[in-house]
Amino acid sequence: MTVEAWDAHAAQRLAQDPPKPLAPPVRMEWTQRPGIGPGTEVLGGSLCGRRIVELGCGPGRNTAHLAGLGARVTGIDSSRGQIRRAAAHYGHTGAEFVRSTASAYLNGERERLDAIVSIFGAIGLTEPFKLLVACSRRLSRNGMLAFSVPHPQRTGTIPASPRTRDQLTLPDGTPTVVERWDIGSASWVQAINRAGLLVTGVQDLFAPVDARWPTTLLITTRMP
């Protein structure tokens, strides 16, 4: 159901904003509100020439921003519509956009990666441990994985079940459902360590800044 929902979302966005080249965003966003929290500094130092993959790139904004900084970056998404939308708007930036599931791409990739990022993307929308293991196998020594997911306490309580269903409203106002894994920080840290990665940061972000509860969980890790 998730892929179909994002295909429908992309189709409606393209109908509203016909395919045309757009300038890359000036900032990398880890939340759903612009200007809140860190930017690319969480990836450390210059990104020029670094090999980076975004898992679940959606419309390609963050992938395009990384390309604009000189990174050799590929945006991956399982939605054909989102890849079409990303390529239409940001294919001119030098970013590559590939339709694939995150696991299939990582398991087929041979080149070592300097960084993997996921912003409300594949990490959190699929079973976490297997995807974290796939990330660790592809990262170079000291390579980084950084990802943001909806905060499990965004409604005030952590869900009783790790599998939840969020409502997504399409651009035309039609509601649909997206399934995700909704787990707390301690569970993420445990899964990350089991996958062979080291946690370097856990941030609770409030977007908007006056939100009662944290809305975004940002976790950074690296290969030892």
Task: Give the pLDDT of residue 161.
Answer: 64
- pLDDT for residue 1 is more than 70: no
> pLDDT for 85-134, tens place per residue?
999 999 999 999 999 999 999 999 789 999 999 999 999 988 899 999 99
Residues 6+ apart with CB under 8 A from 2: 125, 178, 179
- Which pLDDT band, with edges at 50, 70 and 90, does 22 fall under? very high
Residue 56 contacts residue 118 (beta carbons within 8 Å): yes
State pTM to two decimals.
Answer: 0.92
Which of 98, 124, 125 has its CA nearest to residue 109? Answer: 98
Rounded Cα–Cα distance for residues 61 and 105 (Å) = 20
Q: Would you state the pLDDT for residue 160?
A: 61
What's the residue count for the chain?
A: 224
pLDDT at position 84 over 80: yes
What mean pLDDT value characterizes the chain?
A: 91
Q: Which domains does the chain have, with CATH numbers?
A: 2-19+45-222 (3.40.50.150)
pLDDT at 159 over 50: yes
Read off the pLDDT of residues 163-191 as tens digits, 9 standing for 90 and up.
666 766 777 778 777 778 889 899 999 99
